[in-house]
Copies of this chain bind each other. A is one copy, B any other.
Amino acid sequence: MNGKEIAQKIHVRNLERVEVLLEKGIQPKMAFVRIGEDPASVGYQNSAIRKAERNRIECESFVYPQDTSEDAFLKAFEDLNKDPNIHGILVLRPLPDHLSYEKISQMIDLEKDVDGMSPFNIGKAFDPKINDFIPITPVSVMRMLKHYEIDVKGKDVVVVGHSLVVGRPLSMLLVDEGATVTVCHIDTKDTKSYTQKADIVITATGKKWLITKDHIKEGAVVVDVGTSYEEDGKVYGDVHFDEVEPLVSYINPVPGGIGSITSEILSERVILSASKGLKENE
């Protein structure tokens, strides 16, 4: 499975939609909010901005010093919420300990929460509708399965990893489509005993080569959402690709998997959010 191919398809549609917006005088705009200079955050931000700009989305960074007080930060954040020219807000993680992630995730304008950080939007994973701002990575996984016409209904699907941004909401999106879903994680006693029998294994742990050929049934579908940045400067997935690839019916490489899709969906949502303004103006 090729994430870049799917991303390219969404990219083309994104550009068409932006064209329409620009003609109507609406410039879609996205705010990136970062506190401090965590290198991984900075790296992710730069890459996300580059991709959004390819979609002709205006990007503005709002960077606050590591020791910004909560009051000052919340006040600044409220301004972004209210700014009618900003259609999407993405808050980079991690936040410093003295700033409550919970508070911010509960105050972000739901219509601008393109990354799906609010419990409200995460909650929509329980009962998903089209264009809900559910956390992007699980939505990207579902898009990939749909692109390759892999029907999950009645299938035995194992999700490895139970993070709040991937594993948990993803498991609920799969249940909603009729999959029988098992969530495995750090406390699971024998992950292999679950994955070995699964029709579809989706892994999102960030542990290099956690999943080997011994974990996978012949002909299974394997989606690798993991990314580990190793000391050799390379990015690895959760799956030992070379070993597993000959066994399975579908698998995606890392890089070249889910990551490319998420950035395009991020742009897509900013554009959707900006298009709401369009309807109101007409």
Contact = CB atoms under 8 A, between A and B. Distances in A.
Contact of A119 (B127, B156, B178, B180): B127
A180 B164 contact: no
Contacts of A180: 182-185, 187-189, 194
B187 A154 contact: yes
Nearest to A194: B180
Contact of A185 (B123, B156, B175, B182): B175
A178 to B, nearest CB: 4
B168 A172 contact: yes
Contacts of A120: 118-120, 123
A115 to B, nearest CB: 14
User: How many copies altogether?
Assistant: 2
Interface size class of A (residues with CB under 8 A): 20 to 34
Contacts of A182: 180-183
28 contacts: A118-B120, A119-B120, A120-B120, A121-B123, A122-B123, A122-B126, A122-B127, A123-B123, A123-B125, A123-B126, A126-B164, A126-B168, A127-B164, A153-B187, A154-B188, A162-B175, A162-B176, A168-B172, A171-B172, A172-B172, A175-B183, A175-B185, A180-B184, A180-B185, A180-B189, A181-B182, A181-B183, A182-B183
Interface of A: 118-127, 153-154, 156, 162, 164, 168-169, 171-172, 175-176, 178-185, 187-189, 194
